[in-house]
Chain A
Amino acid sequence: MYQINSQASPDPMNEELKCIHCGNSCGKLPFLFEGNPFCCSGCSTVYQILNTNQLKQYYQIEQMPGIRIEDEKRPSDETYAFLDLEKFKSKILTFSEGDISKVSFFIPEIHCASCIWLLENLHSLNPGVIQSFVNFPKKEINITFKDSEISLRQLVELLISIHYIPEISQHSIEKTPSDQLDKKLFLKIGIAAFSFINAMIYHFPQYLPGHEFLETDIKHMFGWLSILLAIPVLTFSASDYFLTAFKSLKKGIISIDLPIALGLITLFTQSIVEILSERGIGYIDSLTGLTFFMLIGRWYQGKTYQALSFERDYKTYFPLAVTKITDLGNETIALEDLKAGDRILVRNQEIIPADSILKSGTASIDYSFVTGESMPVAKQTGDFVFAGGRQIGSAIELTIEKEVQQSYLTQLWNQTENPYTVNNRLNTIVNRVSQYFTIIVVLIAISSGIFWLVNKPEIALFSFTSVLIIACPCALALTVPFTFGSTIRQFGRKGFYLKNTAVIEHLFKVDTVVFDKTGTITNAQSSDIRFVGKELDSVQLQQIKSLVFHSSHPLSKTIYNSIESDELLEVKEFQEITSLGITGLINGSRINIGSRYFVSGEKTEDEKLNTEVWVYLQGSVAGCFQLENEYRPGLKSLIQKLERTHEIHLLTGDNDAEKARLTEYFSVAENLHFNHTPTDKLNYIRKLQKNGRKVLMIGDGLNDAGALNESNVGIVIADNVFNFSPACDAILQSNQFGKLHRFIGFTRQSINIVKAGFLISFLYNLVGLSFAVQGNLTPIVAAILMPISSVSVVVFASFSVHLTAKRKLK
C-alpha cells in the first residue's frame, strides 16, 4: 500500500532509448557515458558519482530508479548557505553532542527499494556519515554524522547531488508529537490484550459444568487476580473513554463514550461486589475484552498515510532563511526577522517570501503553486510581486513591501474559524444515534429496576446494573471505525487520500461542489496548441523546433513537443532574452520566437485571452502559437454525473475569456464566477454556507487555501501527492479526477453499511436486554454475547465495504 508511485510511466510502445537513471525518454540526442544512454547531463552526473563510489547496485535493485532534476530546477549553490549558521543548525538537528550530530529529513522522492539502499549507503559517498536510516512509509531519512568531517550544509548538498532533495522548511522543523500518541495507543492495546487473555483463563473454569467443586482458595485467587488485571485496563487502557465522556457531558453532549464509560464502571463495580461477596467471578473478562476490541477499532480508524500531510500551511512552502542585501554585503537572516523595507536577493528556484517590489533584474516567476498556472509570469523592474512565486532564471533583487505575516497569501491562513464548519464536526451519525441509545438504555434500566423493586426487591439492583452492562455499546462503537476505516483504505488504493474518517461523513452530506479552474479542472501539464497566421511548411516547422530546443522555458518545451520533426538543424548565435524570447540564426536566416513585443515590436495593452508565442522568420512575422488550457480528461462526464445530485459552481481568478467554452461543460452559467481573488473565493464559500449549503471545494494551489479551509470538505488535486499541497481534508491524485463522483457516491454506501451495522448491534442488544431485564444475566452470557456481537459487526463492516468497493470503485 505504500508503493504509491506517481512517476509517469514511460510508454511501452515507444522504442526510444530510455535513460538508465530515471527512465525518461532520451530523445534523439542522448547523453552517453560508458555506452549508457542518459536523458540529461544531471542524470549522467549522478550515475558517474555512484559509479566512482561503487554504488552501481542502485541500478540493479530496481530498474531505472533515479530521480530526474531538470537543470533549471536545480537549487543554486547558495540556497542552502543558511545551514552553516548556528541558529538554523540548532533548530534542524535533532541531536548534537560533541562531534556527533543527528538530523532527520523528509524526502518526498523516496519511492523504491533502490532509494532505501542508496540512502542507507550514504557513508560510502562520504565517510563523515556514520549511519543513515530510512523510514519508507514516512519518506524520512535519519542521519547520524560527524560534524567535523561533513557540515549540515554539505550533507544536504550531498543528498541533492544524488537528486534526493530534502524538504527543509519552517514546518518540518516543528516537531510533531503524533508518534508519541501512536506509541501510547499500542501500549494501551497491549495491556488490554494481556489482561483480556489472562482474565479469560481465570474465568473459563467457572463456566464449565462442575465448577461448583472448585476449591474456594482457587476461586479466591482467580477473583483477586482478575481484579488486579482490571485495574490497569480501567485506569490506563480505557482512560480516554472516561475523559471524553466527561468532557462532552460538561458541554451538554451525550457522546458514544458516555454509555461505554457507564457500562465499564458498572461492569467493574458489579464484578467487585460479586467477587468480594463470593457470589461468583464477575465480568472482568467481558470488561477487558470490550476495552481491547474498542481500542483495536480506534487503531484501525486512526491509521493514516504517514507520508502525506494535510496540515500544511505557507510555512511548509516558504524558506527558512532569506538573503538580505545590506551595505556590508549579503547576510542570511531568518524569515521571521524580515521587515518591510528590507532588500533581499532571490536566486533561481527560490521562493519570493513576501509581497515586494522588483528592484533589479528581470523576473520570470512561476506561480504554479499559487494559482495552478504553469506558465511563468514576466515582471519588470518596479513591478509589484506577490509572495509565493518561484523565480526562474538569474537572481533578482526585491524590496519587501509587507512582512511575511501580512502578505496577501499568508493572510488567507490567518482567518478566523468558520462557525458553519465547527458545528458540523460534532454532528456525526454515531453521536446522534448514541444520544437516543443512551437515554433509552437508562430508561430501560430504571424501569426494570422499579419493576423488580415492586415484585422481587432482592434482584432489583442486579437487573438495573445488568441492563447497563449488557447494553454497553461496544458493537455500536465499532461499526463506524471499521466501516470508515475500510473505506479510507479502499479510497487510498484508488488514489484518493482522506485526512481522517470524519471526512467520509462530511463528504456524504455535501450538496454543493465548487471547482477552481486553473490547475484543477485544467491540466497544468499539457495544453492545446495551434498556430494562427501563415501556413508553415515542414522546413519552417523544423527550424522552429530546432530553435526552441535550446530553451528551457516551459512554453518552448510545449512547442517543441507539438512539432513532429525528426532532425534538428544547427542553430548559431543562440540567445535567450529573459521574459522576452529567444533568437538565433539557422542557415544564415534569423528566427525570433517570443512575446508579441519582442517579435513584432507592437505593444498590446488589451488583456490576453490566451497565451501567445509569436514567431518571426524569413524576414517577416509569420504568426503566433496560441496555447489553450486543456481540460482534464473525464471532466464532462464528471460534471454531468455530479449535476444530478449536487449544485455545481466554478470560481476562478481568470477573466471570462473561456466562458463560452466552459458553458459547454457546466449547464448553469450563473454559477460560473470569474475574476475572483482568493479572498473572494473564501467569502463565496461562506455565502453558500450561510444559505444552508454544505460545500465541497476542489482546488489545487495556495490561492485556494482559504476556500479549502472554509468549506465543509476541501479536496486538493495533485499530480504528485507527496509534493506540496495546501491544507485540506483529502488529496486526489490527478489521474483519478474523472472518478471523483464515484468516491462521493461511495460515501452513501458507507453510511448505509454503518446503519446496517447499527441494526445488527441493536438486535444483539435486544437479546442481551431480554436476559438483563429478567435478572438472568450471568457472566457466561455476557462473556459469549459481547465478543460475538463485536466480532460479527467488525466482520460485517469490513467485508461489506470491501465488496461494495469492488463493484463501485473499479
Chain B
Amino acid sequence: MSVVFILVFVAIIMAGAFLIAFVWAVKSGQYEDTYTPSVRILFDDQEIKESENSQKITKEKGEKEKQEVISV
C-alpha cells in the first residue's frame, strides 16, 4: 500500500501547481477584465501602414467574416 503515499504526494504536488497558477492569474490581473480579451482576440493582427493592395483585399474579406462573428 505504500504506493498510495507516492500517489497522494504526486496528487498534492499537482493540485498545488494549479493553485499556484491560479494565484498567479489573480495577481496578474486576469480576473479584472473578463470581457475585453474575448473581443480583442477577434481583431486581425495588422500592419496597416505597410499593407499593399492585394493584402488589403484579403484583409477586408477577413474583416467581413469577423464582423459577422461580432454581431452574432
Please report A residues at the B interface, Cβ cutoff 8 Å.
2, 54-55, 57, 60-62, 113, 116-117, 120, 124, 134-138, 179, 182-183, 186-187, 190-191, 194, 197-198, 201, 215, 218, 221, 225
Contact = CB atoms under 8 A, between A and B. Distances in A.
A117 B36 contact: no
A113 B70 contact: yes
A64 to B, nearest CB: 13
Interface string B31-44: 11111100110110
Given A61-B70, A190-B26, A218-B4, A182 B35 contact: no
Contacts of B48: 54-55, 57, 124
Main DSSP-derived SS at the A contact region: helix
13 contacts: A54-B51, A60-B63, A60-B67, A61-B43, A61-B66, A61-B70, A62-B67, A120-B43, A137-B33, A138-B33, A183-B27, A186-B26, A218-B5
B23 interface: yes
Contacts, number: 77
Contacts of A194: 15-16, 18-19, 22
Contacts of A62: 67, 70-71
B11 interface: yes
A54 B49 contact: yes
Contacts of B15: 194, 197-198
Interface in B42-57: 42-43, 46, 48-49, 51
Contacts of B12: 198, 225
Contacts of B32: 135, 179, 182
Contacts of A221: 5, 8
A136 B63 CA distance: 21
Given A61-B63, A186-B31, A201-B11, 7 more contacts: A62-B67, A113-B42, A116-B39, A182-B32, A183-B31, A221-B5, A225-B8
Contacts of A134: 36
B31 to A, nearest CB: 6
B55 to A, nearest CB: 12
A5 to B, nearest CB: 13
Contacts of B22: 190, 194
B19 A182 contact: no
Contact of B1 (A54, A186, A215): A215
B23 A187 contact: yes
Contacts of A135: 32-33, 36
A26 to B, nearest CB: 23
Contacts of B70: 61-62, 113
B23 A190 contact: yes
Main DSSP-derived SS at the B contact region: helix
Contact of A60 (B8, B33, B39, B64): B64
Given A124-B48, A135-B33, A218 B67 contact: no
Contacts of A182: 31-32
Nearest to B43: A117
A690 to B, nearest CB: 44
Interface of B: 1, 4-5, 8, 11-12, 15-16, 18-19, 22-23, 26-27, 31-36, 39-40, 42-43, 46, 48-49, 51, 60, 63-64, 66-67, 70-71
A225 B64 CA distance: 56
Contacts of A57: 46, 48, 63
A485 B12 CA distance: 35
A94 to B, nearest CB: 13
A191 B18 CA distance: 11
Contacts of B33: 135-138
Contacts of A183: 26-27, 31
- For B19, B27, B66, the residue with the greatest tally of chain A CB atoms inside 10 Å of its CB is B19
B39 to A, nearest CB: 5
B66 to A, nearest CB: 7
A685 to B, nearest CB: 38
A201 B8 CA distance: 10
A179 B30 CA distance: 12
B35 A2 contact: yes
Contacts of A55: 48
B42 to A, nearest CB: 7
A61 B36 contact: no
Contacts of B26: 183, 186-187, 190
A376 B39 CA distance: 41
Nearest to B4: A218
Contacts of A198: 11-12, 15
A177 to B, nearest CB: 13
A120 B40 contact: yes
A137 B36 CA distance: 8
Contacts of B67: 60-62
Given A60-B64, A190-B23, A197-B15, A136 B31 contact: no
Contacts of A60: 60, 63-64, 67
- For B8, B11, B16, B34, the residue with the greatest tally of chain A CB atoms inside 10 Å of its CB is B8
B1 to A, nearest CB: 5
B57 to A, nearest CB: 13
- For B12, B18, B66, the residue with the greatest tally of chain A CB atoms inside 10 Å of its CB is B12
Contact of B19 (A61, A116, A191, A215): A191
Contact of A136 (B16, B36, B66): B36
B20 to A, nearest CB: 10
Given A61-B66, A61-B67, A116 B11 contact: no
A699 to B, nearest CB: 31
A215 B2 CA distance: 10
A116 B36 contact: yes
Contacts of A215: 1
A136 B8 CA distance: 43
User: 10 closest Cβ contacts across the A-B interface?
Assistant: A136-B36, A54-B48, A135-B33, A186-B26, A194-B19, A190-B22, A113-B39, A60-B63, A136-B35, A113-B70
A218 B36 CA distance: 48
Contacts of A197: 15
A183 B26 CA distance: 6
A232 B21 CA distance: 17
Nearest to B38: A136
B1 A218 contact: yes
A116 to B, nearest CB: 5
- For A187, A191, A194, A218, the residue with the greatest tally of chain B CB atoms inside 10 Å of its CB is A194
